[in-house]
Amino acid sequence: MSELIQHPALAHHFDSLEQQKEASTLGMWVFLVTEVLFFGGLFATYLIYRNWYPDAFAAASHELDVTLGTINTVVLITSSLTMALAVHAAQLGQRRLLLIFLVATMTLGAVFLGIKSVEYYHKFAEHLIPGPGFQFEKEPVHVRHAQLFFSLYFVMTGLHALHMVIGIGIMLVMWWWSWRGTITAEYYSPIEISGLYWHFVDIVWIFLFPLLYLIGRHA
Amino acid sequence: MPDHIVPKRIYYTIFAILMLCTYLTVQIAFFDLGVLNAVAALTIAVIKATLVVLFFMHVKYGTRLIWAVVVGSVFWLGILLALTMGDYLTRVWRTYG
């Protein structure tokens, strides 16, 4: 179907908006593959050390706050719902709802980061930052390997938090574009692929939460 | 290909299942199931991730090319984890502590 008047958002190297949308979605997914392997390396490292030092990892995991971790999981999954609803609103051209859901998504993301920073502060106060000041008095026999756990904890949750900060930055741009009317029912690819990124970050947390917080909780 | 607009109802249903799974994974962690604790935690996490990918990320309604890329990412992650663990788990046959 040829259109005599070209859509302003259609780049000249694409035949149609559909083709352009498929290309940008594919591009985002290819980027997410690199992200899967980026976090995959960290998960592989985690698996190796957890298998080598299961007792130390269980003991160190007990120092994490399950309640705050669970609340953050709920917050992040809810932000994924508001993100999905934002895409839905964009598809239907409901600009006001789109703006509201984008703000909701950013707010929930900020709440997640706030709770995370409270947790980091607790770890700092309890001398659980790996390094010369690290103390593990409950089970001193595990002091070295507990540091491995906390190194992985801070690197993995820290990189996840960095992705959240970038995600909120992307959502700010999306909010601006939606507000000034760039996003329409015909052209909402930016919202769609930003959503893909946001959901990916949610999925990383879905794995981080049980692996870091829930080891050997019954003991 | 016309855009597929997922009904809101599906998003709410998936959200409810994800919440239920989160509740289950926390509850199960407090029971001593031995090795099964890790198995249960990872199974639930995989189910949650699959639901997010299929519905929130629209892969269920995506083109075959998107399916190929998504399955490819899982496949390569599998290679990374399987070959790494195949090495490390069989290096020294002793009990680690």
Contact between A36 and B30 using a beta-carbon 8 Å cutoff: no
Short-list A153, A152, A136, CA closest to A144: A136
Map out the domains of chain A as residue ranges: 24-213
Interface confidence, given as ipTM, is 0.92
The answer to whether A105 touches A83, Cβ cutoff 8 Å, is yes
Please tell me which of the candidates B44, B62, B76 has its beta carbon nearest to residue A37. B76
Number of structural domains found in chain B: 1
Q: Mutation test of the interface with chain A: which of B39, B54, B56, choosing the one with the most A Cβ atoms within 10 A?
A: B56
Determine, yes or no, domain membership for B39. Answer: yes
Contact A26 B12 (CB under 8 A): no
Work out whether the CA dihedral A41, A113, A173, A17 comes out positive or negative.
positive
| One-letter identity of residue A25 | T
Task: Tell whether A19 is within 8 A of chain B (Cβ).
Answer: no
Q: Are A110 and A168 in contact (CB under 8 A)?
A: yes
pTM: 0.93
CATH number for the domain formed by residue range(s) A24-213: 1.20.120.80
A120-179 residues touching B, CB cutoff 8 A? none
Residue B79 inside a domain? The answer is yes
Please indicate, yes or no, if residue B33 is contained in any of the structural domains: yes
pLDDT tens per residue across span A60-71:
999 999 999 999
What digits encode the pLDDT tens for the residues A73-114? 999 999 999 999 999 999 999 999 999 999 999 999 999 999
pLDDT digits (tens, 9 = 90+) for B24-71: 999 999 998 888 999 999 999 999 999 999 999 999 999 999 999 999
CA distance B84 to B16: 36
Nearest alpha-carbon partner for B53 in B34, B41, B40, B67: B67
Across the interface, whether the CB atoms of B96 and A54 are under 8 A apart is answered yes
Q: Which domain holds residue B29?
A: 8-88
Whether B62 maps to a domain, the answer reads yes
